[in-house]
Structure 1
Amino acid sequence: MKKIIYCLVKIFKDCDNEYADNLLNSGELYCQALKNFKVIEDGEVRGDKYEGLIHWIQPRDCVISLELPENIVDIPREITITEADLTAPAAIQTTEYEYHKIYCMYAIAIDEFSFKYSTEEERISLQKEINDLISKQIEFDEKISSELGNIAIVITNVKKFIDRVKQHCGNDVHHGLVGYFNDEAVSVQFQGIESIFRKRKLYSYQNEYRFAFSSRDQLNSKIFHIGDLKDIAYKTTVSELKELISISVK
């Protein structure tokens, strides 16, 4: 289902207040190479060892055949690994995008609802049902404040923000909502750049909107500046934003 993005939020820890001000006042985007996220050890908050995933295969869907060299003796030349031999899904990752520079934000977004009704009673019932769904979709998980931080720079005009990113950083950038999959139940395959916009469901509370800047250098990070953002953004806290945000259909 298509999503409607109402605003983007960059979240900072209290100790990073200076960086929050830099984003608001000069549009400073501090980006890290994709490969950096694979080695961050923070209990799977920002770090994700499975970045760049192209195959996630459940044991029931996996058969691996190996043919060993002739000079290896005392074991069979051919070995087949099946579900009975596996204790977890098999993961295959691409290194093609290792040095793409990544900028992550939180998206306040809802599904694009479409509904029909014949009577006023049906309209009222559907309105309540949809508003209940919207409330759940825009609700902040408690882990946002505790794990990511409580300082928030809120981008109120997403289109203008994206336009400025492209204007100052070049058009060779991919961006969009990250999709999340049920890694405990399904086998999946991702193609090309899609591989860096898909993550396991344990990250879904982060509602990530990601910018991926194409890069041929091997730098671990890069800083872009897109200019003063105070005309399309403001500074607050996640705690205050939870109280302020309200979306409903009438």
Structure 2
Amino acid sequence: MDKTIIYQGQISGFPLFKFQTADIIEKIQKGSFYMNSLKVYRDRYQTSGDEEIGDPFEGKIYVNNAQLIIPEKSIIEPCNNQVFSTPNEDDFVFCMFGINPQIHKSFCFNEDQKKKWLEIYDTALIIKDQQEFFNRIKNKALEMNIDIIGDFVNYYDDSINDVTPFICSLLKGIRNSVFHKRKKYAYQQEYRFTMVNNKKSDNFEMNIGDISDISTILPLDKFLNVEIYPHE
């Protein structure tokens, strides 16, 4: 084991990382905050069948088995294995790997995570000060008069008929649908930033300024062997 990362020691705030190729990680550390539309990930699945980065259900609501009630027409119809569009299904997202301290007392990457990440990426960006990172994103967004929110992604079991997580989230606003993914993607442990895509374009980029003072770059193969403690 090359290194141990300890909460409130080497990292302030909850652990937050970005995995990518070296050239893209360098751009991010220089300030590039590049967001793709959720449509990009649906299209990636449609064109290549990729279900690691691509996801045909991104931004949509999946229903395994339910009944659709239309009171004004007195109709009750079965609703099985259906995917429904949402007003926010094309919103922009910036995705990171996060470790929720409310869930993990300590954390090590498992072999499945290592295999999946190393097949795609080679470099890790470690955010050393999570709150300051958030502040820089927020301040730039305010300067540009845009609204960016962030949260951990909830991973749901699409083989069972439990809509409770969706209902609880959607009570906060339909925009929260972007924070739900099927459990097959749970290994990604996403912390996701999102903003509304009013122009329906494929991507959006803003520069939050150089973050080399609050981040570190490591080769991914070495980083994936660390042990992480979200608590002191």
Same topology, TM > 0.5: yes
**Do the aligned partners of 1:45 and 1:147 also contact (CA within 8 Å) in 2?**
no
Alignment map for 1:29-178 (pairs within 5 Å): 29-41=33-45, 42-54=49-61, 56-59=62-65, 61-62=66-67, 82=78, 89-94=81-86, 96-111=87-102, 134-135=105-106, 137-140=107-110, 141-170=113-142, 172-178=147-153
Tell me which residue corresponds to 2:9. none
- Looking at structure 1, the residues matched to 195 and 17 of structure 2 have their Cα atoms a distance apart, in angstroms, of 19
* Cα deviations by residue, 1:59-92 (Å, 9 ceiling, x for unpaired): 3x33578xxxxxxxxxxxx997548xx5xx2222
Letter in 2 for 1:216: N
What SS is found at the alignment partner of 1:205?
A: helix
Is 1:18 the counterpart of 2:23 in the alignment? Answer: yes
**Which one of 199, 202, 224 corresponds to residue 217 of structure 1?**
199
Structure 1 vs Structure 2 CA RMSD: 2.9
Distance 1:158 1:249, change over 3 A: closer
Letter in 2 for 1:203: Y
**Which one of 203, 211, 229 corresponds to residue 247 of structure 1?**
229
**Do the aligned partners of 2:101 and 2:230 also contact (CA within 8 Å) in 1?**
no
**Do the aligned partners of 1:5 and 1:107 also contact (CA within 8 Å) in 2?**
no
**Do the aligned partners of 1:102 and 1:213 also contact (CA within 8 Å) in 2?**
yes
Give 1:18 deviation, angstroms: 1.6
Distance 1:166 1:92, change over 3 A: same
Letter in 1 for 2:161: V
* Cα deviations by residue, 1:88-142 (Å, 9 ceiling, x for unpaired): x222221x22442211111133326xxxxxxxxxxxxxxxxxxxx644x442422
TM-score, length of structure 2 as denominator length: 0.76
Tell me which residue corresponds to 2:31. 27
* Cα deviations by residue, 1:185-213 (Å, 9 ceiling, x for unpaired): 23323521110000000000000011112
**Do the aligned partners of 2:156 and 2:181 also contact (CA within 8 Å) in 1?**
yes
Distance 1:82 1:144, change over 3 A: same
Aligned sequence identity (%)? 24
What SS is found at the alignment partner of 2:95?
A: strand
Instruction: Count matched residues.
Output: 205
Tell me which residue corresponds to 1:183. 158
TM-score, length of structure 1 as denominator length: 0.71
Unmatched runs of 5 consecutive residues or more in structure 1: 66-77, 113-132
Tell me which residue corresponds to 1:237. 219
Letter in 2 for 1:36: V
Unmatched runs of 5 consecutive residues or more in structure 2: 1-11
Greater radius of gyration (CA): 1
